[in-house]
């Protein structure tokens, strides 16, 4: 989610992932307090906590804020990218429609409604008839 999607499929996948992560925020955050409580109990009973684990616990709230900011930034980036994907899709659609119009007018209406000549004339077999 840190890089802009390059295709419509990637955009769809990124939007789905963002929505899932954004909706899961309350569930994730609800797990923090029991975790802090468990560490408080271990500290109370003087259970040795490895320094790296203690450091992760100390960093948890800051990392959570960073994660939430990443979701906010990703939301802005995805909305911008979604708008530009729609814009470029509309330009492509316009170009296709314009090309179709150009092709359509290469043959006049009268020519397209005129009856076709017999196949023998088209293929040069008229001397057999």
| pLDDT tens for each residue of 44-79 | 999 999 999 999 999 999 999 999 999 999 999 988
Dump pLDDT digits (tens) for 86-129: 877 777 877 777 776 665 555 565 665 566 655 555 555 545 44
**Which one is predicted more confidently, 2 or 56?**
56
Dump pLDDT digits (tens) for 16-51: 999 999 999 999 999 999 999 999 999 999 999 999
Is the sign of the CA dihedral 120, 123, 127, 128 positive or negative?
negative
pLDDT at 129: 47
Q: Is residue 6 predicted with pLDDT exceeding 80?
A: yes
C-alpha to C-alpha distance for 14 and 3, rounded to whole angstroms: 10
pLDDT at 96: 75
pLDDT at 89: 79
pLDDT at 19: 96
Q: How much is the pTM?
A: 0.66
C-alpha to C-alpha distance for 74 and 2, rounded to whole angstroms: 7
């Amino acid at each position: 989610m840190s890089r802009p999607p390059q295709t419509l499929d990637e955009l769809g996948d990124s939007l789905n992932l963002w929505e899932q992560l954004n909706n899961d925020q309350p569930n994730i955050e609800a797990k923090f307090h029991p975790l802090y409580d468990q560490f408080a109990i271990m500290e109370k009973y003087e259970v040795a906590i490895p320094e790296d684990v203690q450091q992760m616990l100390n960093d948890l709230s800051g990392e959570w804020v960073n994660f939430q900011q990443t979701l906010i930034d990703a939301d802005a980036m995805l909305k911008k990218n979604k708008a530009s994907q729609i814009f470029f899709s509309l330009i492509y659609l316009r170009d296709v429609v314009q090309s179709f119009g150009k092709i359509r007018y290469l043959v006049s209406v009268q020519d397209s409604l005129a009856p076709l000549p017999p196949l023998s004339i088209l293929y040069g077999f008229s001397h057999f008839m």
